[in-house]
Chain A
Amino acid sequence: GAVVSQHPSRVICKSGTSVKIECRSLDFQATTMFWYRQFPKQSLMLMATSNEGSKATYEQGVEKDKFLINHASLTLSTLTVTSAHPEDSSFYICSAKDSRLGGDLYEQYFGPGTRLTVT
């Protein structure tokens, strides 16, 4: 159990276009999901915390108008990179905690990541 999926796994887009990345919790409900970004040879940096039914909370330095996050249901959060530029090329990883009653909030489950390349 506790599987998180991401789609697409890889995407190449042209500069100036927008790209949407989906994150789904397949067998559990997640009130809160998290979006991380990882540049080559670096660690994961938290971009934002996505809350179901409300606005996301962005980390300092992350542009909320550029990285649109929508958490429309307890199993789906989307990240849209708007007007993408080459410097947005990165590995984007989502994760979620099981928010069901009795769920182990120690565990944070990660998606397999989405490799975005902006040309």
Chain B
Amino acid sequence: SQQGEEDPQALSIQEGENATMNCSYKTSINNLQWYRQNSGRGLVHLILIRSNEREKHSGRLRVTLDTSKKSSSLLITASRAADTASYFCATGTNSGNTPLVFGKGTRLSVIA
């Protein structure tokens, strides 16, 4: 069953603007991960944040995690047309036989 809920479902911005996507989840987690998926392609792992971390950066990406609110956000700064894709959050544990559970995703369109 899906656990995460992304907000918004779709987002359209101009190139150069920042894009913020939010994710909420329901149960306790050990980590939360963000993935990107271009249309018709496989998943690209963007960033992983552990439950004891509050913020993490990677290039133009900034992820926050608030375990008290069971929510996370992904910020893409200075967006580019190439950032156009679907973005998914996925929650996980450190158990070997427990899979990642994906949210519904946000479809981001960056207009040049």
**Smallest distance from the beta carbon of A34 to chain B beta carbons, Å?**
4
CB-CB contacts below 8 Å: A79-115 with B? 91, 93, 95, 97, 99, 105-108, 110-113, 115
**Which one of A32, A42, A99, A112 lies within 8 Å of B42 (CB-CB)?**
A112
Q: Is B31 within 8 A of A106, CB to CB?
A: yes
Q: Is A105 within 8 A of B96, CB to CB?
A: yes
Interface check A44, CB cutoff 8 A? yes
**Which one of B94, B101, B103 lies within 8 Å of A46 (CB-CB)?**
B101
A interface residues, tally (CB under 8 Å) = 28
**Which one of B43, B93, B103, B105 lies within 8 Å of A110 (CB-CB)?**
B43
**Smallest distance from the beta carbon of B14 to chain A beta carbons, Å?**
23
Q: Is A108 within 8 A of B94, CB to CB?
A: no
Q: Is A44 within 8 A of B88, CB to CB?
A: yes
Number of A-B pairs, beta carbon distance below 8 Å: 60
Q: Is A111 within 8 A of B99, CB to CB?
A: no
Query: In the bound complex, what is the Cα–Cα distance between A31 and B50 (angstroms)?
Result: 23
Q: A46-B101, A97-B96, A106-B48 are in contact. List 11 more A-B contacts (CB 8 A).
A: A31-B97, A36-B102, A41-B107, A42-B104, A51-B97, A60-B1, A91-B40, A95-B99, A106-B50, A108-B92, A113-B43
> Can you list 19 A-B pairs with a CB-CB distance of less than 8 A?
A31-B96, A31-B97, A32-B96, A42-B104, A42-B105, A44-B43, A45-B102, A93-B42, A95-B100, A99-B96, A105-B95, A105-B96, A106-B30, A106-B31, A106-B92, A108-B99, A110-B42, A113-B42, A113-B43
Residues on A lying within 8 angstroms of B by beta carbon are: 31-32, 34, 36, 41-46, 49, 51, 59-60, 91, 93, 95, 97, 99, 105-108, 110-113, 115
